[in-house]
Amino acid sequence: MLIKIKRRGEIGPAETTPRELFLDRRRFLRLGAGSVVTAAALSSGLWRPALADVKLPNVTKGPFTARDELTPYESVTSYNNFYEFGTDKEDPARLAGSLKPRPWRVVIDGEVTKPGSFDIDELIRPHALQERVYRLRCVEAWSMVIPWVGFPLADLLKRFQPTSRAKYVRFEALHDPRQFPGQRRAVLSWPYVEGLRIDEAMHPLTILAVGLYGEVLPNQNGAPLRLVVPWKYGFKSIKSIVKISLVEQMPLNTWARSAPNEYGFYANVNPLVDHPRWSQAKERRIGDFFKRETAMFNGYADQVASLYTGMDLRKFF
């Protein structure tokens, strides 16, 4: 759907996190003499997607919403893993203006009866947008709580009628080094690829996100379309998706290809299975000083544990 603009002045005082102070400071720093972003760059639109502050219309509260305290918007949008922009956590926000999220086409193909290539707004328009507060747990033992805006992946897949041969869903991100400077280095095998088992993809917790904090998804957070699978480590939630394929065989996801002894296909949050280089038993919520115990399946065990009945989760990590 082409988004109608509502300005930030319409936000009421009951907003959960006081973002305006952060954003005003952020704009000031970016326009300052020492900023790498010049006024000319802003006026040319290079940074507009990251600073657009465009409200998403008609968003309703979705199910499965966590009651945790939200991570401030400034942290959510300035501390990211997005290797397409760079390997440092600050690279995505710093370089986000190079990505142009419109126009954008997404291919739906493979084991479906209605394949095709679609404009991003064609894909989004039929879906009612929901806000879902989900925990995001990263392999490096840090976490956030984010109010994503999106819709169930299952709703999209059903529109294209998966066949009985569809056992997995393969996702592919944009590969364009002009827009993603991090892709100019072979730190990973590009394009970024992820995958889910079909039952994981169809689970009601799994969503495609188009926004956060009620606004259009910033470039550094995976605009214009990203996956969010809250019971898995963050690298499973692929960003800037351009292709969704229904397939028979388990896809080889990017991190499993790059470091198979460290990253498996399933990537379920599991405090009992350590990363080879650090423990997964505890995590530090961004903004907290002390660590907290990591919950099995990131706290979503009641909803998803049945998907893995009988599986050895130490072997299938």
State how far the alpha carbon of 8 is from the alpha carbons of 172, 191, 254, in Å. Answer: 33, 35, 38
- The tokens describing 206, both together, are 């799994």
Give the DSSP letter of residue 288: -
pTM to 2 decimals? 0.84
Strand pairing report for 130-137 and 60-61: parallel
Taking 70 as the threshold, does the pLDDT of residue 211 lie above it? yes
Taking 80 as the threshold, does the pLDDT of residue 44 lie above it? no
Longest CA span, the chain: 60
Q: pLDDT, tens digit, for every residue of 65-104?
A: 999 999 999 999 999 999 999 999 999 999 999 999 999 9
| CA nearest to 261, candidates 277, 283, 249 | 277
The domains of the chain, with CATH numbers, are 56-307 (3.90.420.10)
Amino acid, single-letter form, for residue 231: W
Q: pLDDT, tens digit, for every residue of 237-253?
A: 999 999 999 999 999 99
Chain centroid, CA 100 distance in Å: 17
Chain centroid, CA 205 distance in Å: 14
Do 315 and 266 form a contact (C-beta atoms < 8 A)?
Answer: no
Q: pLDDT, tens digit, for every residue of 107-119?
A: 999 999 999 999 9
Taking 80 as the threshold, does the pLDDT of residue 48 lie above it? no
Distance, first Cα to last Cα, the chain = 37
Q: How many residues does the chain have?
A: 317
pLDDT value of residue 53: 72
Burial level of 303, CB count in 10 A (0-12/13-18/19+)?
Answer: middle
Average pLDDT, the chain: 87
Q: Indicate the helix (H) or strand (E) that contains 228.
A: strand 226-228
Q: Indicate the helix (H) or strand (E) that contains 241.
A: strand 241-247
Mean pLDDT of the region 189-211: 98
